[in-house]
Each structure stands twice: as C-alpha cells, then as structure tokens.
Amino acid sequence: MKRNKIFGFLAGALLMAPAATFAQQALRSGYFLEGYEYRHVMNPAFGPDRKGFVSFPFLGNINVGMSGNMGVSNFLYKTPDGGLTTFLNESVTASDFLGGINQNNRLAIDYNWSIFSMGFSKFGGYNTIGINLRTNVSATLPYELFEFMKVGGKGDNTVYHMENIGVSSKAYVELALGHSRDINEQWRVGGKLKFLLGGLNASAMIDRMDVEMTDEQWKVQGSGSLDLAMKGLKVPTNEESKNPGDYEADKAQNINYSDIELESPGLGGFGMAIDLGATYQLREDLQLSASLLDLGFISWNSNTHGVMSMEPWVFDGFKDVPYNSEDDMGNEKPNSLENQIDNLTEGLEDYFSFQREGEVSSRTAALGATLNLGALYTFPYYEGLKFGFLSSTRIQGKYSWSEGRFSANVAPTSWFDASVNYGISSYGSSFGWLINFHPNKFNFFIGSDHQFVKITPQFLPVNNANMSISMGINFNL
C-alpha cells in the first residue's frame, strides 16, 4: 500500500473533517440505564438486572462517532457550478474561512467494535468477557496553522509562530475480563483486566514551529518528533528510495512519504490495562458512582522515529486551488476535489518535514485514561423515572477533554427502558438518546450521544463535527 493512500487519507481526513475523532468509546447515554447490557464498559462495578447475556458475534455493540469543534463546512465550499472546492481556493476569502476557525481546533476519534461479549453471574458476583477492536485518533491544531495555510505571504504577516501541533492514532484488539460484586448493602466494586494486541500506533508532536518569509520563500524551523509503529511498515528516506539528483543533499535523511508501504502486517505490540469502578448507595433514592478506565500501556515494536531538523528548511507555500483545470486539449474541465486534496497533501508533506533517526526500535506508550463520576436520583413518586448526572474526563495530555451530561431515564416496563440527555463538553453541546428493548431472551438497543441534524452524502456532519450512532443485538440468559 503506497503513501498516497495512507498519508493522503490521514491528512485529508484530519483537515477535511476536523477536529476529527470518530469519537465514541462507549455510549454514555446508557450509563444510568439499568437494562443496558454494556454499562460495565463505562463502570466495571455495574451489575446486571438479569442473569447475563451473550452478544450476537460482531453485532453486539457497535459504536461509531465523531467529536470536534469544526465541521466539513469550515473546509469545503460550493462552487458556482454546484461542485466543491477547498478553503485554499482564491474565491474563498480569508475572513470567511478564518472566521470559523478556533484558537485551538480539537480532534478526537474513538471507535469501539465488540467482536464478542458475554456476561454471567458466578463466583459470588457478575463476570464479563469481551473481545473488542478499538481505534483512537486525536489531534490539536492551532489557529495560526490555518492562517498561514490560507493567507501565507499575501497578508501583512511575514512571520508566523505555531505551538502544540499534535496528531496521534492507535488501533488495537482488546481482551477484557471483568468481575464485580457487592461488598455490603451500600458498596459495590468491580474491575477489569485487559490484554492488548497492538496493530498501529502513529504520533506526530510539534512543540514549536516558526515560519518566516525570506527572498520570496518561506523559511521554516521547528522542534518536533514523529513515531510510526506497525508491523511490516517500511518508512524509507530520500537517500534510500530516490536517485541522488532527485533530492537536495541536506534532505537525504528526510522521510519519503510517497514510498511508505506495508509489506507484511502482523502483531505490532503488546500491552495491559485495568478498569476500576465502584458504586455507593448514599440514600435509598441517591446512588453515587465512579470509575477509572484504560489505565495501562502498549509496548510497540517496529517503531520508526523521526525528528525535525534543527536547521531551517525552505517551503514554497500552499498554492491556490482553481475552480477549473485544463485537459490535454487545453479545454477547461472541473478540477476534482480529490485532486485538490492531493495537492493539499503534497503541501503538508513538504511543510511537516521529518528526518528519520536511527533504526527500527521499540517504544512504550500509555493509553488515554477516562475518569467517570456519576450521581443517580430516583424520582420519589415513580421508581421507574431516574435523573442522572455524569462527568467524563479523558486524560490524554494535550488531547484531553471533559464532558458533563444530564439525563432523564425511564423504565415503564420490565422489557423496555430509554434515556434522553444533554451534554456540554470541550467540543460543544449535544443531545443524546437511547432506546433499549430487552424482552425475554433478546436485546436490541440503538442510541446516540451526539444526535446529528445535517450531514453530507458521506455521513459527515456539516457544522460542528459532533455525531455518533450506537447499536447492538444480544441474547439474554
């Protein structure tokens, strides 16, 4: 698989759907819903209101979502002929584009797919087994980066300073073994032990980047690092993959993105993590809960490390993208959006220039942990109605985020319950919901933490990039 497929997809996804994260680790709308089988994912102390369950293989719990403080409309614009063009097009004014950009543009993408799950009562408590595929992408992109991309040398500024540019991605398979039990009438505790099989880990961290216009060219100097860990991933330098006359001598050790390829994929790393949780019945009508999730690490092998050169390098700038381009006959034809994004990708490759350092080695990286704190109040005149507040905090350095979510939860019958909720987070506000059917021997649920209203044909949110959908089919024991 060549670079233009790998790198182009990542760059295009990050910039065209920022701040990106198919970001749905678990359906937080179901945290207080006692009939929801996967509450234990958010707090391992939660027990079932039934004997247990077995998931429909590959369909038991699917979570897909996106969170961010920007959307597609910030980066793609309609042309007069009904097509699409990027924000670099000269017809898009700097004020129109930059007016929708935040000082700190955030991205978080989590995807959790349950391959197999089950829960059962045994050994004095409740036990869970889960095999899950999990991915995470996080990014933070400063306003100055987009200002430079759009305005460049056409504005008054000839010097740009950028800090804290970061993109991180990982994918792994998780085997989770959980157990929870009552300590007394008030306390219930639980925990999980997770074994992690790593597939991919990529991280680019740029602490500072200075750009200055000199002699009609941009001089760039930065401090940052790049790590790419994936079994079988070949990351060549210019010296290894190009003819001597095709690159400048001082760029011999620069990573050649165009020739990155995947030769023999396999297990890229191994790690472990734990989840801890507890509930406390403060009063008959008030329950408190807390959990700490994904406290652990993955040791990645086959890691390629790159650094930014301490010496400045020259960058030609991001080019305007026209509405039309000419074919071989000299006739104008629409310039496809794919070609426009390819041009943008090439500019990003030149701008973020890393030199490979040393040979392939190993690297250990912590997971992003999540802290949940909850309070559940039972309505005194109807026990089937409960009100909850959930505070969730992702602890992941510069990619950290927090959310507060208020919910109303109702269980009118023994086989149906539902939740409606409203959340305020680092990515903005959102409306969530969940409906959960669990008659005898069968369970189906569907819900969302970020109900989307307006989307593109590719199912990307047009405005703020907040959307999610969760669903699953399971069998009750």
Residues of the chain with pLDDT > 70, as a percent, come to 82
Q: What is the pLDDT of the chain when averaged over all its residues?
A: 83
Look at the block and give the residue holding tokens 């703020």.
464
**135-144, 189-198, 355-364, 450-459: segment of lowest average pLDDT:** 450-459
The predicted model gives 468-477 an average pLDDT of: 93
Band (pLDDT 50/70/90 cuts) for residue 67 is confident
Q: Is the pLDDT of residue 264 over 90?
A: no
* CA-based nearest residue to 430, from 404, 455, 451: 451
pLDDT at 179: 98
**Mean pLDDT, range 402-431, rounded to an integer:** 94
| pLDDT value at 454 more than 90 | no
Which amino acid is residue 122, in one-letter code? K
CB 292 within 8 Å of CB 275: yes
- Whole-angstrom Cα distance, residue 127 to residue 176? 11
**What pLDDT shows up at residue 341?**
59
Task: Answer whether residue 1 shows pLDDT above 50.
Answer: no
- 408: number of Cβ within 10 Å: 15
Least confident stretch, 7-11, 201-205, 252-256, 473-477 = 7-11
Range among 212-226, 303-317, 411-425, 441-455 with highest mean pLDDT value: 411-425
Give the mean pLDDT of 412-424. Answer: 96
pLDDT for the residue numbered 282: 97
Which residue has better confidence, 399 or 435? 435
pLDDT, tens digit (0-9, with 9 covering 90-100), for 100-151: 888 888 877 778 899 999 999 999 999 999 999 998 888 888 998 888 888 8
Residue 7: predicted pLDDT: 43
Provide the domain count of the chain: 1
CA distances from 71 to 53, 204, 462 (A): 38, 22, 5
> Among residues 372, 358, 316, 377, which one has the least CA distance to residue 152?
316
Which pLDDT score, from 0 to 100, does residue 18 have?
38
Q: Mean pLDDT throughout 243-272?
A: 83
pLDDT in tens, 198-212: 999 999 898 888 888
Looking at residue 465, its pLDDT comes to: 66
CATH number for the domain that contains residue 285? 2.40.160
Confidence of residue 260 (pLDDT cuts 50, 70, 90): confident
Query: Considering the entire predicted model, what is its pTM?
Result: 0.84
* Tokens, residue 132: 């899950």
193-202, 308-317, 344-353: the lowest-pLDDT one: 344-353
What pLDDT was estimated at residue 17? 38
pLDDT of 404 reads 97
In terms of residue numbers, what domain contains 166? 3-476
* pLDDT classification of 15: cutoffs 50, 70, 90: very low
Q: Which residues pair with 227 in a beta bridge?
A: 203, 305
| 103, two tokens | 């000082």
Q: Which residues contact 177 (CB under 8 A, 6 or more apart)?
A: 127, 128, 129, 192, 193, 194
Give 19's pLDDT tier (boundaries 50, 70, 90).
very low
Q: What is the structure's pLDDT at 313?
A: 72
**364 falls in which pLDDT band (50, 70, 90)?**
very high
Q: Is residue 3 pLDDT above 50, yes or no?
A: no
